Amino acid sequence: MYSFNRRCISFLLLVPAVWRADAADFDPLQYVDQLIGSRAGGNVFPGATLPYGMAKAVADTNSGSNQGGFTLDGTPILGFSALHDSGTGGEPSLGNFPLFPYAACPGDDINLCVYPKKTRVAFGAFDSKSVVARPGFFSVTLNTGVKAEMTAAQRTALFRFTFPTATNGAHPLLLQDLSDLHDSRQDNGSVSVDPTTGRIKGQGVFVSSFSQGQYTSYFCTDFSGSKIFDNGIFANSRASANVKNLTVSRSINGYPLPGGAFVRFESPEKPVTARVGLSFISSDQACSNAEEEIPDFDFDAVQSAATTAWREKLSPITVSTGGGVDPDQIKNFYSGIYRTMVNPQNYTGENPNWETGEPYFDSFYCLWDSFRSQIPFLTVLDPSSVEQMIRSLIETYKHEGWLPDCHMSFSKGYTQVVNLLAVFDGYLKGLAGGIDWDVGYEAVVKDAEVEPFDWCCHGRGGIDSWKSLGYIPVQDFDYKGFGTLTRSLSRTLEYSYNDFTIAQMAKAMNKTTDAEKYLDSSNNWKNLYKENQTSSLFSGANTGFVGFFQPKYLNGTWGSQNPLKCSNIDNTGSVCSLQNTGAETFESSIWEYGFYVPHDQGSLVTLYGGPSNFVKRLDYLHDQNITYIGNEPAFLTVFQYHYAGRPGLSAKRSHFYIPRFFDTTPEGLPGNDDSGAMGSFVAFSMMGLFPNPGQDVYLITPPFFESVNITSPVTGKTATIRAINFDPTYAAIYIQSATLDGKPYTKNWIDHSFFTEGKELVLTLGKNESSWGTAVKDLPPSVGEYVGFNGTAVSRRIVPPNLRYPLEFRRPGLGFGQV
């Protein structure tokens, strides 16, 4: 009924006042479900936090998949802690200093309460129906009857424990221990409790989860509500109210010794509010953070401030709820957006390694995942935060000498590959906000030019070979720097693209010589293309496709890697990550990396035998499950049909994956959310514009909604995407024609000015593919030419506004035959 009204009004162009009231009523937060991805490996953080907040409060479960703290997989609760990452794989991060509540100790004897994490988990069972998760809020009731609610400020979490009154007369107990999720505490964690106020302070040294580093974290916990009855410390399974300080050694048999403090309260009648201040500088700073942020323990006020902060972040984007669209799709969309702002985390003022007044963000986990769509999404929706992240990365470069790929808990993590600021495309999209782009440029050039002694965690390896041979050889001879000598093929492809993005940045900065140089080396991917390489399935059947990338030795002889090795259908036990025995492709196959030439799809289409063969190959990649949408290299392949002049097939493919692989259930993610990377894939796909990251290009598909409005936080202008003939069953997902600001628009892509200048894109949809967006002139930019398209006997190269490469910039053919 409401939607019917909306539609009539939009056609009749009636009173705008109605619209304003309507837009004001729209609350995106009602569509956020934080529990999506809390089961089956999504590893999301579903608890209470502010956007990019450092304090992240949630219940931690005893799950093998508790990287984000809480899971809905039936495992019981270990404690309630306030530092977390979201969606990561590998070892769980953070989860330091959990609290645990007891309504009473048996016989009121503190020694009969259970302290160690491993055993107290027996008291951590809960009914999943009791779980409530909303932006800025999380709550669960333990089967013991204790209800735990939590909310968060920037660096302080607030927990409210309500005890069953049946325990009248007993003294409820809260313990706080020195553990973390990963059980990584090193020597001499310490805790103290103030006998009068019950204030607990402490610190511990822990291991960062995907790096070689360690970090020290600190806390300061104060209580409000019921009066303090007594307090003390515990070590292992025993406690005493006579001892107020504890310093504890690392471990016995590899498991950190349980140790912490406890506080008991006069009566269970009043809830107890525990305010946990956090810091990476000192426990005094943890106390002052808490005192500043939550001076009066007002749970409702903190929760309401968090809700407001989230509403502000999500409100620049509104979608039509009309047209018969399934509300679940709206939930999918906003929940995805929500997750893009949980990580990275704003640790400004908490960096123990330098304090320069610049913003400091951490939990880039990893940029290899997030550069593809998460950072580009935030560049649209929250550019000022991306500006702060870039400033933080540049400051990290200044202090650590290199840009990181992964960075968490103040340590640089293991480099997967892509690690360039330039792929952030923020320069091209006009991000400024105090970013020193000259230093940014210096950093990306250093990455390309200077080989670090240890390139485990920053920079590139094999730079001599790269320069002399034009590829990274398998089993490289490299005596200048050291790292895992694997991934030679994926590194070649990724370094090529990285060089392209440097060229683009150089060009925009008028550094013409550099632009030529890096554009030249951005062609290096061609050196690993073996035109007669075939590919057979593991069953032995030939896929019928010829021409694949292959590894190459130093002496120029081809190496060999099955193009399906490390694909989603490889069940042969291949080693595909950062192990010494890893493959020549990282976390992915040659089949999939075979499309990773984001800057030169024209040449790639030609190599693969022209557009229709390119489409066949892309279809085969998806239909045979060679790629898996649960890992980030798959993202762009969903939309690469655009480059073959078949934008309709990109739309079809995105509907193949959403909601089939992305839905609103707790198991609704196909893999780790990876700090919100999956969330951003959903958000951009459903919005109908998908970025080719590193370029000022968004590929156009119909949105999953009748209309989408995005207000640029920079200019205040509102961009609109509107579908005519919107079909909520998604049978009509093919663009028949389009207008941009009222004028016919045939290009199948659009640039960032769409958002900043608040343009209007109107798409007329139909049930069949059309000729819209299929002509060579409609295709997105490419370094090499598009040939073999209908009506293009003589090929032409697209020269987009931001890529005005004079012809002489292009190196003539590198000696491979055209197919």
Site for ligand NAG, rule CB under 6 A: 19, 23, 52, 154, 187-188, 192, 201, 244-245, 318-320, 346, 348-349, 359, 385, 388, 509-510, 532, 553, 555, 557, 611-612, 624-625, 645, 707, 709, 718, 720, 768, 774, 789-790
Compute how many other C-beta atoms are within 10 angstroms of the C-beta atom of residue 107.
9
CB of 346 to ligand NAG, least distance (A): 4
Peptide bond into 344 cis (omega under 30): yes
Whole-number minimum distance, CB 378 to ligand NAG, in Å? 10
> Shortest Cβ distance from residue 476 to ligand NAG (Å)?
11
90: left (phi over 0), alpha (psi -120 to 50) or beta: left
Q: How far apart are CA 156 and CA 152, in angstroms?
A: 6
Q: Give me the residues paired with residue 760 across strands.
A: 720
On whether the CB atoms of residues 229 and 240 are closer than 8 A, the answer is: no
Using alpha carbons, list the distances in angstroms from residue 151 to 58, 307, 613: 9, 10, 54
Is there a contact between 460 and 499 (Cβ–Cβ < 8 Å)? no
Residue nearest to ligand NAG (CB): 192
- 374/707 with CB nearer ligand NAG: 707
Burial grade of 296 (CB within 10 A; 0-12, 13-18, 19 or more) = exposed
Give the residue with the Cβ less far from ligand NAG, 7 or 810.
Answer: 7
Nearer to ligand NAG, 69 or 758 (CB): 758
- For the bound state, the minimum distance from the C-beta of residue 790 to ligand NAG, rounded and expressed in Å, comes to 4
Buried b / exposed e along 385-422 (16+ C-beta atoms within 10 A): bbbbbbbbbbbbbeebebbbbbbbbbbbbbbbbbbbbb
Q: What whole-number distance in Å separates Cα of residue 798 and Cα of residue 185? A: 56
Taking the least distance from each CB to ligand NAG, the nearer of 616 and 811 is 616
Cα separation, 757 vs 719, whole angstroms: 7
CA angle centred on 814, ends 811 and 819, rounded to 5°: 120
Closer CB to ligand NAG, 253 or 557, in the complex: 557
Nearest distance in Å: CB 286, ligand NAG: 12
Q: Least distance in Å: CB of 707 to ligand NAG? A: 5
Exposed / middle / buried, residue 464 (Cβ in 10 Å: 0-12, 13-18, 19+): middle
Residue with Cβ nearer ligand NAG (450 or 724): 724
From the list 103, 236, 108, the residue with the least C-alpha distance to 174 is 103
**DSSP state letters, 605-634:** HHHTTSHHHHHHHHHHHHHTT-S-TTSGGG
Which of residues 267 and 720 has its CB atom nearest to ligand NAG in the complex?
720
Is the Cβ of residue 210 or residue 424 nearer to ligand NAG in the bound state? 424
Give the DSSP H/E element, type plus range, for residue 120.
helix 117-120
Shorter beta-carbon distance to ligand NAG: residue 349 or 609: 349
Query: CB 414 → ligand NAG: shortest distance, Å?
Result: 25
Residue 370 CB, nearest approach to ligand NAG (Å): 15
DSSP 686: H
Q: Which structure tokens are listed for 3? A: 């939607």
Identity of the residue, 396 or 774, whose beta carbon is nearer to ligand NAG in the bound complex: 774
Q: Which is nearer to ligand NAG, 115 or 789 (CB)?
A: 789
Smallest distance, ligand NAG to C-beta of residue 126, A: 32
Residue number with CB closer to ligand NAG (167 or 374): 374
Residue placing its CB nearer to ligand NAG in the complex, 11 or 453: 11
Q: How far apart are CA 748 and CA 781, in angstroms?
A: 11
CB of 348 to ligand NAG, least distance (A): 4
- In this complex, which beta carbon is closest to ligand NAG, that of residue 111 or of residue 771? 771
Cβ-count burial 607-644 (b if 16+ within 10 Å, e if not): bbbbbbbbbebbebbbeeebbbbbbbbbbbbbbbbbbb
Please state the closest distance from residue 254 (CB atom) to ligand NAG, in A.
17
> CB 660 → ligand NAG: shortest distance, Å?
8
Q: Could you tell me the smallest distance in angstroms from the CB atom of residue 692 to ligand NAG? A: 20
Task: Tell me the closest approach of the beta carbon of residue 724 to ligand NAG, in angstroms.
Answer: 14
Per-position DSSP letters for 223-272, written without gaps between them: EEESPEEEEEEEETTEEESS--EEEE-SEETTEEPPEEEEEEES-SSS-E
Q: How far apart, in whole angstroms, are the C-alpha atoms of residue 360 and residue 372?
A: 22
Residue number with CB closer to ligand NAG (416 or 736): 736
Q: How far is the CB of 671 from ligand NAG (least distance, A)?
A: 13
CB neighbour list of residue 630: distance below 8 Å, 6 or more residues apart: 661, 669, 670, 671, 672, 678
- Do 118 and 132 form a contact (C-beta atoms < 8 A)? no
The residues, ordered by sequence, that sit 6+ positions from 551 with a Cβ below 8 Å of its Cβ are 473, 474, 488, 489, 528, 558, 559, 560, 561, 584
| Residue at 548: amino acid letter | F
Q: Identify the DSSP state of 454.
A: B
CA 403 to chain centre: 18
